[in-house]
Amino acid sequence: MSEILNLSRRQFLKSSALAGGGLVLGVYVSRLGDRADAAQPATAPAPAGTTFAPNAFVRIGPDDTVTVIVNHSEMGQGVYTALPMLVAEELDADWRRVKSVAAPADPAYNHTVYGIQMTGGSTSTWSEYDRLRKAGATARAMLVAAAAKTWDVEAIGCRTENGEVIHVASGRRLSYGRLAETAADLTPPQDVTLKDPKYFKLVGKPTKRLDTPEKTNGSGIFGIDVTLPGMLVAVVARPPVFGGKLKKFNAERAEAVAGVRHVVQIERGVAVVADGFWAARRGRDALQLEWDDGPLAGLDSVKQRREYAELASKTGAVAKKTGDPAEALTGAAKRIEAVYELPYLAHATMEPLNCVADVRADGCDVWTGTQFQTGDRIAAAQDAGLPLEQVRVHTTLLGGGFGRRAVIDAHFVREAVQISKAVKAPVKVIWTREDDTRGGYYRPAAYHALTGAIDETGRPVAWQQRIVCQSFMAGTPFEVFMIKNGVDETAVEGAADLPYDIPNAQVEWHKAPGGVPTLWWRSVGHSHTAFAVECFLDELAHLAGKDPYEFRRGLLTGHPRHARALEVAAEAAGWGKPPPEGRGRGLAVHESFGSFIAQVAEVSVSKKGAVRVHRVVCAIDCGPVVNPDTIAAQMEGAIVFGLTAALHGAITFENGRVVQGNFHDYPMLRIDEMPVVETHIVPSTDKMGGVGEPGVPPIAPAVCNAIFAATGKRVRRLPIRPDELVS
């Protein structure tokens, strides 16, 4: 089957040569982009010289199947459903005939805002909202024109419904599949009118995910499932201390392990390459390695905490300043100070990192669950020593991402490419859970020193916040966008944009010493700033003798979306009425990624200090809604993610080494700790925001504020330590 279209000038092209005469909107639909084929080796050369155009998103087959080529990676957040919904809505497709496939790595599939192919920042749905609806509407217009031509009637006398064009006057009908070939010969319209949202039939309605069936019978293909003929499996020994270097190694014993085929040194360490995982892993255990631990040999979390405190005692780079906080603090009626601390956190995706690479003389194919196709492809080309057009990146399902699979240095792809090139065979690199937990790219540890003051009436008059944490934007190509006036936006977001009406406020940042690889972790800077801001605000409310809800409500006059989310959550949670016996209630509201979320947590604390979160009420205003069921699922998931961190999560260092390794010492929330989560979507026609990340930031402060309500004890350091809550 020919897969390559000779795309000419037109934005949308048609070719009857493709897919048995189907209508293809968009450029080329790569066989390699099809998840059904994702596990198969490449047999065709790269499409050299093919011109790509935008909106390469729709394929309609003669069998009436509508395939939406999705350029955002499916990592659980539901893009393989929400994005096809946008196309199907405008296309008036029969939803039962819609399927989604992964886009190949290609500039045609670049992010509409970021300009590279990637998934992140909770942007997938809003950033594609217009482009994909246009792709669907254009297809629909061409199918109508094809029907009109077939029947020799005016297009205006035709309407569409459920995958068919209907001639209104005669009642004649033709399915999209039967019209595909004719439509393929038409010139696409350049301007199409999009539906008024009030006529939406699909968008905004709870819609079943398209990828659920393959995730209930084991047939979904994740990166770790990709299998190629002749493929070997590699496990890599990496430096035990970040920044360490290999001094020397002896492979003799590793090579003696049955099934081990090669031991090769690569940039980041030593790879043991075998017939399968078990042999590779046993081979790695048998390696004799000597490392130079480098400058972080003495890294220790206890010492680091003192260093951060020392930094916080000095003025940092100013991220926000209004009024004169120093002056206001001096003259205020009451003031308080508090320090909030958060540890490094690993993403701990259920699917450990992995990557399959097949480097040949004539090309390189990479299969992996990635959030960062453009960077991975460039890196693979560099390490394979091949031109970019000979490198293909095939995106599989991702067994969780949370930011971990959007790595700027493409390290997990580079390793696989380097090993495949060295051993001249397709190679799958599998990270063990320990490799993954100790592999870095953590949410930075953060130290927040806060000072606040209220006046005689209990109104806050001053807010000073000093944040100490590493920058993961420094030294990357993103530095130019993300670091302004010496402040890394990802370190202060959620603090520098404090929504509360406090006349004198200053937020500063200290860049902590680097070395430990850090990265975006679901909700990025908000994951620590919201904890400090929303807990400290609660402290101010207490200082003022005010109800935490009323206190916030009075300070959100200029922020109606915050206020509305807060009202909806408070009302649904029964705020103001006594909580069930033995429980405390706490709340938090936070904006991130364009969405506004309030959460109310109901918590009890046992005599031994064990914290139980019973119920979480969550209200979200994310603007127009595509799939409400996905929003609810993302809120449930984000609350679990944030609770895991609040109750259990800490990556710590001793002697330069990460202490934790697997789920016994880096625990995840389990079903027996799962609170009841109730999600309320605030009706909104405001600007559309994201839903993947913004549910995370409010939960830790909501829970800690509830602990205060239940026990009178403030939690200022995560994870929550039961021994500090013993009564």
Joined together, the tokens standing for residue 23 give 């209508």
- Does position 676 interact with other proteins (CB under 8 A)? The reply is yes
Give least dist CB 197 to other proteins, A.
24
The span from the CA of 27 to the CA of 88, in Å, is: 19
Site track for other proteins across 310-349, x = CB under 8 A: --------------------------------------xx
CB of 216 to other proteins, least distance (A): 5
Closest to other proteins by CB, 221 vs 491, is 221
Quick check: 602 binds other proteins (CB under 8 A)? Answer: no
Contact between 671 and other proteins by CB under 8 A: the answer reads: yes
The residue among 396 and 465 lying less far from other proteins, judged by its C-beta, is: 396
**Residue among 10 and 670 whose Cβ is closer to other proteins:** 670
The smaller minimum CB distance to other proteins, of residues 234 and 384, is found at 234
Q: Residues 418, 432, 529, 684: which binds other proteins (CB under 8 A)?
A: 432
Residue ranges with strand state E in 396-532: 427-430, 446-454, 460-469, 483-484, 487-488, 504-511
Distances, alpha carbon 687 to alpha carbons 524, 621, 684, in Å: 21, 10, 8
Selected range binding other proteins among 196-204, 529-537, 583-591, 634-642, rule: CB under 8 A: 634-642
Q: Which among 16-24, 47-55, 560-568, 630-638 is the span making contact with other proteins, rule CB under 8 A?
A: 630-638
Residue 276 to residues 225, 228, 358, 421, 425: CA-CA distances in angstroms? 13, 12, 16, 18, 14
Residues 259-278 that bind other proteins (CB under 8 A): 259, 276-278
Query: Nearer to other proteins by C-beta: 113 or 350?
Result: 350
Alpha helices in 193-275 (DSSP H): 252-255
Position 40 contacts other proteins (CB under 8 A): no
Q: 294-306 burial string, b = 16+ CB within 10 Å, else e? A: eebeebbbeebbe
Out of 213, 385, 475, 576, point to the residue binding other proteins (CB under 8 A).
213
Pairing of strands 354-360, 288-292: unpaired
CB of 67 to other proteins, least distance (A): 20
Q: Does 570 sit near other proteins (CB under 8 A)? A: no
Residue 433 found at the interface with other proteins (CB under 8 A): yes
| Residue 237 is a binding residue for other proteins (CB under 8 A) | no
Give the Å distances, CA to CA, from 429 to 200, 395, 420, 664: 45, 16, 9, 24
By CB under 8 A, residue 580 contacts other proteins: no
Q: Given the rule CB under 8 A, which of 398-406, 414-422, 455-463, 567-575 is the region that contacts other proteins? A: 398-406
Of 88, 145, 233, 543, the one binding other proteins by CB under 8 A: 233
Nearest-5° Cα angle at 38, 34 to 43: 95
Q: Judged by CB under 8 A, which stretch of 305-313, 528-536, 545-553, 667-675 contacts other proteins?
A: 667-675
CB atoms within 10 A of CB 429: 30
Binding region for other proteins (CB under 8 A) out of 116-124, 426-434, 487-495, 603-611: 426-434
State which of residues 603, 638, 647, 715 lies at the interface with other proteins (CB under 8 A).
638
Q: Does 90 bind other proteins (CB under 8 A)?
A: no
The reply to whether 663 sits near other proteins by the rule CB under 8 A is yes
CB 393 within 8 A of CB 368: yes
- Using CA atoms of 318, 321, 326, 330 in order, give the dihedral in degrees to the nearest 10: -150
Residue 11: CB minimum distance to other proteins, A? 34
Residue 128 and residue 135: Cα distance in Å, rounded? Answer: 10
Measured distance between the N- and C-terminal CA atoms of the chain, rounded to whole angstroms: 71
Where does residue 147 rank: exposed (0-12), middle (13-18), buried (19+ CB within 10 A)?
buried
Residue 271 near residue 264, CB atoms below 8 Å: yes
Which residue, 150 or 227, has its beta carbon nearer to other proteins?
227
Residue 224 is a binding residue for other proteins (CB under 8 A): yes
Q: Is 220 in the site for other proteins (CB under 8 A)?
A: yes
Closest CA to 368 of 423, 418, 429, 409: 429
Nearer to other proteins, 577 or 664 (CB): 664
- Distance between CA atoms of 121 and 525, rounded to whole angstroms? 11
Q: How far is the CB of 580 from other proteins (least distance, A)?
A: 17
Residue closer to other proteins, measured from CB, 396 or 518 = 396
Spatial CB neighbours of 218, under 8 Å, sequence gap ≥ 6: none
The stretch among 75-83, 140-148, 449-457, 600-608 that binds other proteins (CB under 8 A) is 75-83
Q: Does 211 bind other proteins (CB under 8 A)?
A: yes
- Amino acid type, 317: A
Q: Does 703 interact with other proteins (rule: CB under 8 A)?
A: no
For residue 607, give Cα distances in angstroms to 92, 267, 362. 59, 52, 67
Rounded CA Rg of the chain: 27
Do the beta carbons of residue 414 and residue 267 sit within 8 Å? yes
Buried b (16+ CB within 10 A) or exposed e, 314-326: eebbebbeeeebe
Distance, C-alpha 75 to centroid of its chain: 8
Using CB under 8 A as the binding rule, whether residue 674 contacts other proteins is answered as yes
- Of 338, 474, 633, 681, the one binding other proteins by CB under 8 A: 633
- Minimum gap (Å) between residue 645 Cβ and other proteins: 12
* 75 binds other proteins per the rule CB under 8 A: yes
Q: Smallest gap, in angstroms, from Cβ of residue 674 to other proteins?
A: 4
By C-beta, is 501 or 678 nearer to other proteins? 678
Examine residue 576 and tell whether it contacts other proteins (CB under 8 A). Answer: no
Q: How far is CA 524 from the centre of its chain?
A: 9
Where does this chain bind other proteins (CB under 8 A)? 74-78, 208-209, 211-222, 224-225, 227, 233, 258-259, 276-279, 348-352, 397-402, 430, 432-433, 629, 633, 636-641, 662-664, 668-672, 674, 676-677
